[in-house]
Amino acid sequence: MHDIGRYKGFTKSVILSYDGYIYFEELGYSGNATVCVTHSFPNKNKHIDIATDWSLVPEHMKLKLVEILDKNKTYDIYNKVITLCDALADSQGFTTLERRLVSVGLRHGTNAHTSLHWKGFYIIKNELEELLDKSIYKLLTGVEDSLYTKVDY
């Protein structure tokens, strides 16, 4: 549901996050609306321009996305789990964070803040693993199979 903004079509930028937010807000689901945005920004708005193709985002959308992130400076456990889960799956199923991030980078490109963006996912992963007292990969059935499949690009 966090990517429901794709109902308007595919875009390489975070326009889908904005579209999903507006859609859920109109339905009255503000919590789900917020996750449409927060899952794309694991660093909690430290570097809003980490978004791939940020230049494609119309100014009114940028302002709204910044406003949403400013209101949600502290992510709850739900936001963190959704953010990490989105980063641990690809078209083939579960995968490692490294493979997923490289795949996204190959498909959408990178920018000067990509390493900061990726670090945000690792911070969340480490925090959740500390709570679980185990590697997140131990919960993802078949994740090791992704090591032997092609990387999407």
pLDDT of residue 83: 93
Question: Which residues lie closer than 8 Å to 122 by C-beta, 6 or more apart?
Answer: 97
Identify the segments of the chain with pLDDT beneath 70.
Answer: 44-47
What's the pLDDT score for residue 21? 96
pLDDT for the residue 45: 59
Q: pTM value?
A: 0.88
CA angle, 6 then 101 then 150, to 5°: 90
H-helix or E-strand containing 120?
helix 114-132
Query: Nearest-5° angle of CA 81, CA 117, CA 103?
Result: 85
> What distance in Å separates the CA atoms of residue 67 and residue 134, rounded to the nearest whole number?
35
pLDDT at 43: 80
Q: CB–CB of 71/37 below 8 Å?
A: no
Domain map (residue ranges) of the chain: 4-148
Distance CA 119, CA 17 (A): 20
- The residue whose two tokens read 């959408």 is 108
User: If 0-12 CB within 10 Å is exposed, 13-18 middle and 19+ buried, where does residue 91 land?
Assistant: exposed
